[in-house]
Structure 1
Amino acid sequence: MQRIILDVDSAGDDILAVLFAAAHPDIKLEGVTTVTGAAGPITQVTNVVLNTLSLAGRDDIPVHAGAWRPIVGNSKADMEAPVHFEKRLTARFGDRLKTFNPPAPTQKRTATPGHAVDFIIETAKAHPGELTLVTTGPTTNAAMAILQEPALPSLLKNMLVLGGNFSTPGNMTPLSEYNIWADPEAARIVLNADCPKILVPLDICEDNRVADSMLTRDDLADMAAVTKDNTVVDMIREVFPIYIDIWREFFGLVGFPMDDVITVALAIAPDLVTTTDKLFADVVIEKGIARGQTVAYRGHQILPGGDGPKTTRIGTDLDGRRFLDMFKTTMARYGRPAA
């Protein structure tokens, strides 16, 4: 049983990551913390998580709201670009966009009192050496927790960080992936922390080299065929076809990439990915097209640098078929076996 805190920004696959973590028998989900990111303001992000856990029948899991803005960030227009991304898709997808990041209704259940940063620190202190912190959005909460409690990296078992890109082009700039770009200063703090971590880049999530890890309409049909009375699978079948269509038609991928779920799955199956040896990874924070670029110190360079902790392993390949089978099996737990 792996204890985790899941830190999310409630974009599409964050919903699936929460459902996966809440249902998998080998995961003890200590709580979900929220951060402003691709889905919009912190209230929207938090309400999406509350709705998702209610759907999963897991209102027992604490939900703590966290950072409402990055430590520094970028221009206001650039920071809002992912939220307004759907405006560029209207002419192409029309009414099909109605299930793409809709405003979340306010839940009767409210967020658990206390800031996400305090919850992360307190939980790590309560379970030293046992807790995995999984970040699937900007790393603002994790960075603030490290700044507030410098001993935190030594208290964590490890960190699983979704972010960065190396061989695959970035999705914010050619050099930068969204989670890192959205708060490069925070990402730099996290990657410089002396704590074992796996960095899950676009290379093993949003690249057709790992097409067998992506959600397709066939997978939606497969999930419906093996269970009945499954409200979670019913929701996925209703909401996620537009995500599949957008990532196929706009981004040129064979299906919807499951970045966030992959990152959570590594808490219980780290062998799903092939990784580099431990190395030092850093982030470019200067203004310009390279802001948010993730840099892996490999090889031999003449100029000094790269003397930070060698605690990061970077994912380079993924057993996509095994991962997707794990996801579908876990979603089946929300229903009863079909006859």
Structure 2
Amino acid sequence: MAKTKLIIDTDPGIDDAMAILMAFHSPEVEIIGLTTIFGNVPTSLATHNALHLLEVIGREDVPVAQGCTMSLKNVPKVRIADFVHGKDGLGNTNPSPPKRKALDLSAKEFLLKMINTFPGEVTVVALGPLTNIAMAIRADPMFAKNVKQIVVLGGAFFVNGNVNPASEANILGDPEAADIVFTSGADILVVGINITHQVVMTDDHLKQLGQSESAFAKYVYEISHFYFDYHHEAYDMKGVYLHDPTALAAAVDPLLFTFAEGVVRVQVDGISKGMTIFNNTGKRWGEVTEWCNKPSVKVAVTVDANQITDMLMERLLTDVK
């Protein structure tokens, strides 16, 4: 069976690092590139971290394309989650500068090139704000038809957000971009924090990584203390939420989830800015509105949480590349 070609759009980020390491240990997929975006860190640092992670993995052959530094509306103050991931995005471990640079192509240009080179074959896993992908959709109307699938980490469906009661961080990072992506007509799987808050790496799991002989497990152990400390304080929990690895798992094995289908729109202003609103009632509305004639997406509603944690641990605990 042919491997699924993956591009990971990422803002590393400690749990992004976990997801990227997991991806390169997943025989089901072939990583053909990383694109970078702001979120956990500014875009330039996300690019630095993506290049660094590929050196850690030993896959310097994989291209990295730097993405947008601001949202579609060019909001000057980008929200950065350094209080979750550390100033360097990798738990204040201060990794050495990477030996190589990103491509001359922008993330938008790289996405368009890959999707048009391999139409119907490439899945994009979006782990940060959706600006790069919205830019690609705006630039080429065929992008939504030619991409195999877009797996989105974002939204808070049926639960409160993690930035404020209405909004999840990735969607709030660029709500206009998210609305463009969700209504593009592409085949989209959305994994929100209603799902990722069920998938936990415990303090005991972290200890197991630290005691392992696997270089990858030890690396995750070293960068993760800051992330664990944040969760201990913010959520009073003995573990961390596995946001990005859970979204990656949806690309690797979607059978670990169940999905409901419907239209998703994003509130782009006001007190509920960034809220993802899901219409899956099947009702025929009595008047024409912004909800009418919009393509549907698939939103994750259940998850085999233990299976995903086990998958991540198993793949981190091996040095097979």
Q: TM-score, normalised by structure 2?
A: 0.91
Instruction: Give the aligned partner of residue 182 of structure 1.
Output: 173
Structure 1 residues 73 and 13, CA gap change in structure 2 (3 angstroms)? farther
Q: Confirm or deny that 1:321 pairs with 2:320.
A: no
Identity rate, percent = 28
1:86-132 C-alpha deviation (Å, 9 max, x unpaired): 69x9xxxxxxx996255554211111221111111111111111111
C-alpha RMSD of the superposition: 2.4
Cα distance in structure 2, aligned partners of 1:98 and 1:178: 15
Residue in structure 1 matching 2:163, options 169, 172, 178: 172
1:152-210 C-alpha deviation (Å, 9 max, x unpaired): 0110111100100022211122111110001011101100111111111110012xxx2
Matched position secondary structure for 2:201: coil
Q: Is the Cα–Cα contact under 8 Å of residues 142 and 190 in structure 1 kept in the other structure?
A: yes
Q: Confirm or deny that 1:221 pairs with 2:220.
A: no
Q: Confirm or deny that 1:251 pairs with 2:235.
A: yes
Cα distance in structure 1, aligned partners of 2:95 and 2:135: 27
Matched position secondary structure for 2:240: coil
1:308 deviation in Å? Answer: 4.0
Q: What stretches of structure 1 of length at least 5 have no aligned partner?
A: 90-96
Q: Is the Cα–Cα contact under 8 Å of residues 280 and 307 in structure 1 kept in the other structure?
A: no
Cα distance in structure 2, aligned partners of 1:259 and 1:86: 13
Q: What stretches of structure 2 of length at least 5 have no aligned partner?
A: none
Structure 1 residues 102 and 37, CA gap change in structure 2 (3 angstroms)? farther
Q: Is the Cα–Cα contact under 8 Å of residues 7 and 122 in structure 2 kept in the other structure?
A: yes
Q: Is the Cα–Cα contact under 8 Å of residues 40 and 81 in structure 2 kept in the other structure?
A: yes
Instruction: Give the aligned partner of residue 130 of structure 2.
Output: 139
Report the structure, 1 or 2, having the larger helix content: 1
Matched position secondary structure for 1:122: helix
Structure 1 residues 139 and 282, CA gap change in structure 2 (3 angstroms)? same
Structure 1 residues 86 and 188, CA gap change in structure 2 (3 angstroms)? closer
What amino acid is the match of 1:82?
A: A
How many residue pairs get aligned? The number is 316
What amino acid is the match of 1:46?
A: T
Q: Is the Cα–Cα contact under 8 Å of residues 100 and 242 in structure 1 kept in the other structure?
A: yes
1:75 deviation in Å? Answer: 6.3
Q: Is the Cα–Cα contact under 8 Å of residues 217 and 241 in structure 1 kept in the other structure?
A: no
Q: TM-score, normalised by structure 1?
A: 0.86
Q: Is the Cα–Cα contact under 8 Å of residues 38 and 68 in structure 2 kept in the other structure?
A: yes
